[in-house]
Amino acid sequence: MSPFQLTRTLPEDATDAALRSDVRHGLTRSPRTLPPKWFYDAHGSELFERITELPEYYPTRAEREILLARADEIAAASGARTLVELGSGSSEKTRHLLDALTGLHTYVPVDVSGSALTRAGRAIAAERPGLRVHALIADFTSSLTLPDSPGPRLVAFLGGTVGNLLPDERAGFLASVRGLLAPGDALLLGTDLVKDEEVLVRAYDDATGVTAAFNKNVLTVINRELGGDFDPDAFEHVAVWDADREWIEMRLRSRTAQTVKIPGVGLVVDFAEGEELRTEVSAKFREEGVRAELAAAGFELTRWWTDGADRFALSLSVAREE
């Protein structure tokens, strides 16, 4: 068998259909919302890479610090022979785990972007000729079927992306991950932690405006894919800390009363001056809350690691007997 294999479980037109559905649903409800996955076309992905390098945006650096310091402990505790990475992207951070998991047989990167998967997967297969790389073009938030591979399995969901899911969505997602695993398999989860409001808001509203451009990119995506006539300059980027829910919200605030046409979904949308469109929720966590959510999904949290400033956490949880 070739060391690199690519399997598509996502229909060719699934992305277009999902975008139309999300835009139609999100822009006809009150308050208006869009899911954050539509930031990430090629330009949006480039902007996000720039965000991760900003001094205000600590999560990527903090998580990398933990991975560098704890990869050997993660490998020893999990004993993984198969590593599954959800939302793998470039698989850059994963290389620290791949280096530590000396007994690894199979790496399964999962992403909706076939081009990113192919590029990263082929590179890793070339770097590690003894490793089987089976990439999946799939949406990990819906039903997912993993290829046959030896256990124990370790599922990695890094970057704090779990915080983009609302609580009910998060519960469903964690339960679905548990459904992929046998007792004794493990989940490595990255979670951004609750901290000072000023630090959090700065991380999502940087002084140079890169995050603002990233936020507005969702409007450009809708214009390109659905024939919309959004004027991104007619919207202001807003980042707000919700202390009750302990999450950051990114929003786009209409600078004036305006009407937007989106022919691709047959919508005409009226925005009032000051009306806000929510584009992202990014929940922040405490250890006891993470432990409780994992327990409800059938996991037992066994390891908890933070960076030196306690800004970010990686947790390792074991799938319990059902």
CA separation, residue 262 to residues 30, 218, 277, 294 (Å): 18, 13, 15, 40
Residue 171's identity, in one-letter code, is A
Q: Does the pLDDT of residue 1 top 70, yes or no?
A: no
Residues 6+ apart with CB under 8 A from 110: 84, 85, 86, 87, 88, 135, 136, 138, 140, 144
Lowest mean pLDDT among 2-6, 77-81, 204-208, 210-214: 2-6
Percent of the chain past pLDDT 90, that is, above it, reads: 83
- What integer pLDDT is reported at residue 227 of this predicted model? 98
Which of 5-9, 16-20, 280-284 is predicted least confidently?
5-9
pLDDT in tens, 67-98: 999 999 999 999 999 999 998 877 788 888 99
Query: At residue 125, does pLDDT exceed 70?
Result: yes
Task: Kindly report the average pLDDT of the chain as a whole number.
Answer: 94
Would you call 310 helix, strand, or coil by DSSP?
coil
Over residues 287-316, the mean pLDDT reads: 98
HSE of 16, CA atoms in CB hemisphere, 13 A = 9
Q: What is the DSSP letter of 160?
A: T
Q: What is the DSSP letter of 193?
A: B
| 30-61 pLDDT, tens digit each | 999 999 999 988 899 899 999 999 999 999 99
More confident residue, 239 or 41: 239
For residue 180, what pLDDT is reported?
Answer: 94
Phi, psi of 14 (to 5 degrees): -65, -40
Predicted pLDDT at 2? 60
